[in-house]
Amino acid sequence: MNRKKLLILDDDVRLCEILAQGLSNEFDVTLTHDPDIAYRIIMRSPPDIILLDVHLGVGCGIELCKKLRANQLAKNIPILMLTGHGNTDRMLQSYDGGADDYIEKPADLVIIKTRLLARLRRMQELSTSGETFGNLRLHPERLEVELDGKGQRLSEIEFSLLRIFLTHPNKKITRDEILKTIWNDTRVEERTVDVHISSLRRKLKDFNHHIKALYGSGYILRPVEKKRLFKALEA
């Protein structure tokens, strides 16, 4: 069984070290104390679950939670918030910001571990039926897709692009939305989006859905028309 990736964001260095050591048997742990760095890590290589402190020396954990929930690549990642005991307002703000669970400090390491694993089990139950889309099966742990039994490896960007389309089938996705979601604040030309999508299309040529270009406005994922399927079979 592959170990799940856990990102911990807390400005208490000592606490981070304790958590990392105590959770390392169950998770591949990444530590950071800066919300901007955490965001970049999540966009580059999304973790399976996030443990996020509400109070940070720089920035606010709840604001980062809101930012992640607004991003297509991160909106479904389970987020558990850590904060001081008895702070009801912070607890409500955490849930309003999109947190899945809330843990009060000081918390026993066993309790934190149990809550993390329980949330992951629940996510697995919810996502079991979503592992396939048409004739495509996703293997995010190794950046691969399977089409009619044949494996195909994707780059991180291609896999991220595919996730955007699969979560929004039959909906127009603009180049600007793709740029903001995948490249965040990095300056990238719109042409870069087209290049990556062209590469993704080639790798998904046997997919029974097609990423169709909408002239001057973006892209949309639609089922392949039957006529096109027949032509492919005749070729």
**What count of Cα atoms within 13 Å lies in the side-chain half-sphere of residue 218?**
16
- Domains defined for the chain, CATH in brackets: 4-128 (3.40.50.2300), 131-234 (1.10.10.10)
The per-residue pLDDT string of the chain (235 residues; one tens digit each, 9 = 90 and over) reads 468 999 999 888 888 889 889 998 899 999 988 888 999 899 888 899 999 888 776 667 888 888 888 887 788 888 998 887 556 677 777 777 788 888 887 778 888 898 898 888 876 654 543 468 889 988 876 778 899 888 888 887 888 889 889 888 888 998 888 888 887 656 777 788 888 898 899 999 999 999 999 987 899 999 987 655 444 555 4
Which residues 6+ apart lie within 8 Å of 221 measured at CB?
165, 166, 168, 169, 170, 171, 209, 210, 211, 212
Among 133, 119, 118, 68, residue whose Cα is nearest residue 98: 68
Q: How far apart are CA 100 and CA 94, in angstroms?
A: 9
Residue 172 and residue 217 in contact, taking contact as beta carbons nearer than 8 Å: yes
By DSSP bridging, strand 79-84 and strand 101-105 are: parallel
DSSP label at 174? -
